[in-house]
Amino acid sequence: MMAVRTFLMKTGALIALEGRMDAASRDLLQAAGDRMAETGAKHIVVDMTRLTYISSAGLGVLVRLSSILGKAGCSVSLSGANGVLRTVLKITKIGTLFRIYDTADDAMSAEAG
Amino acid sequence: MTREAALLWGLMAGILPVMGFLTALLSVGLSRLLLWSSGTSPDWYGRFGAPWLEEAVKVASLAFLIRPERVAFMVDAAICGFAAGAGFALLENLAYLEMLPGGGVPLFVLRGFGTAVMHGGATAIVGVIAIALRRMGRWRAMGLGLLVAIAIHTYGDAAILTPLQERLTVVLGLPPLFVLIFERSERAMHNWMGQKLNQDVELLDMLATGNFANTPAGQYLRSLSSFPPRVLGDMVCMLQISSELSAAAKGDRIQTWAGLPVEPDAQLESRLVELDFLGRSIGLAGRRALAPLLPLTSRDRSELRSLQDKARP
């Protein structure tokens, strides 16, 4: 199961994922992304520090989210992808579609700058 | 109580003999129908026709009982087969008691013991072959086992030897064969626990530390460049879930051996569902390409299922 927490900040919005993003839980991210987009945030960071698993189902949501939000002038970046997540992002080449930061703080400050 | 003993008592006293008994009822009905409709002599049918029908109905019931996700080891399959076969023999002997009065109790006991061992042994062998050769496909392996069982049964019924010689061959020949199977199964269990657990942990460690791409397994995956990147990513995911489940199965087994209760895994079902999703995502070609790396075997799946079934309140 995956838990999703959302934070609205001055510099943008943060979606923190925790647990496993499998085919059954991908809708949670989609819903969180939609909610954050409605706030008018210009940048969304998806933090994966506490995420332990992501398959093509979850990656598909990330890509769709980035594409839809991009058209509305909102960018999406990733942070905290470690271990197997980094391998999956690299091997699927999805990592090339996003700016990836080590931490959510790095992402927020870089995107705000 | 050891695992084998618990299984033995549970199955021997439970559903298997009843199922064998019902199978025998079906077999008797079909035999009478065949004899009546074909006009074959009962003697010829008893020697050469009955083994085919009786073994086929026993194997059909065994195929239901030893579904791959439920039975993992040869010894378990042998116990299932033996109990089902012995249940079958019980009804057969009751029928003989009615059809062939006289001869006294000693003859009935000798005959009953011999047929119980023969029927139980023949069906147990089908179970053992189905598990030992599962790589060739469940139904093919079962078919091969069926042919072996028919051969044993035909030998028992064909009157090539005197009844006493034939019973002695069966009673003395089958038990050592089963001792051999039990020992082999035990070795397979130790190999599964020791060597395979180390491999699972190593793979999980490589995945968790992000070093997977530099390992031989990671390089092998990269060499599959004809697959789309999405499929390659899901192959990594499949390796991750497979090794987690495979290690969990062994962990549960270790706890059971130590006499500790197995904690129900609330995420087991969702992981198995995800595994199915990944299997569909990478397709048949992907599954075949990944097979040499996949740590989760049908043995792991059945161990997990069976231990978790017991752990559920």
pLDDT in tens, chain B (313 residues): 445 455 555 555 566 667 777 777 787 788 878 878 877 777 777 777 888 888 888 888 788 766 655 666 777 788 888 888 888 887 777 776 666 666 666 767 767 777 788 888 888 888 888 887 877 777 888 888 899 888 888 877 776 777 677 777 777 877 788 788 778 777 777 776 667 777 787 888 888 887 787 888 888 888 888 888 889 999 999 998 888 888 888 777 777 766 667 777 777 888 888 888 999 999 988 888 888 888 777 777 777 776 666 666 5
- The domains of chain B are located at 3-183, 210-311
Q: B27: closest CA among B97, B84, B104, B103?
A: B84
Cα–Cα distance for residue pair B256/B169, rounded to 1 Å: 38
Q: Which residue in B has a C-alpha nearest to residue A53's C-alpha?
A: B237
Other C-beta atoms lying within 10 Å of the C-beta of residue B60: 13
Check A84 against B274: CB less than 8 A apart. no
Q: Is B212 in CB contact (< 8 Å) with chain A? A: yes
Check A87 against B213: CB less than 8 A apart. yes
Task: Indicate whether this model's pTM tops 0.80.
Answer: no
Tokens 């299984």 belong to B7
Quote the domain boundaries for residue A67: 2-112
Quick check: A45 and A17 in contact, CB under 8 A? no
What are the beta bridge partners of residue A83? Answer: none
Q: Where does residue B14 rank: exposed (0-12), middle (13-18), buried (19+ CB within 10 A)?
A: exposed
Q: A33: closest CA among A97, A86, A76?
A: A76
- Pairs of CB atoms within 8 A across A/B: 72
B73, B75, B124 from B183: Cα distances, Å: 11, 9, 15
Q: Where does residue B5 rank: exposed (0-12), middle (13-18), buried (19+ CB within 10 A)?
A: exposed
Chain B hits for A55, Cβ within 8 Å? 233-234, 237, 274, 277-278, 281
* Interface of chain A toward chain B, CB-CB under 8 angstroms: 1, 20, 22-24, 53-57, 59, 82-84, 86-88, 90-94
- Count: domains in chain A: 1
Q: A36: domain CATH number?
A: 3.30.750.24
Beta-sheet pairing, A12-21 with A99-101: unpaired
Chain B hits for A3, Cβ within 8 Å? none
Q: Which residue in A has a C-alpha nearest to residue B219's C-alpha?
A: A91
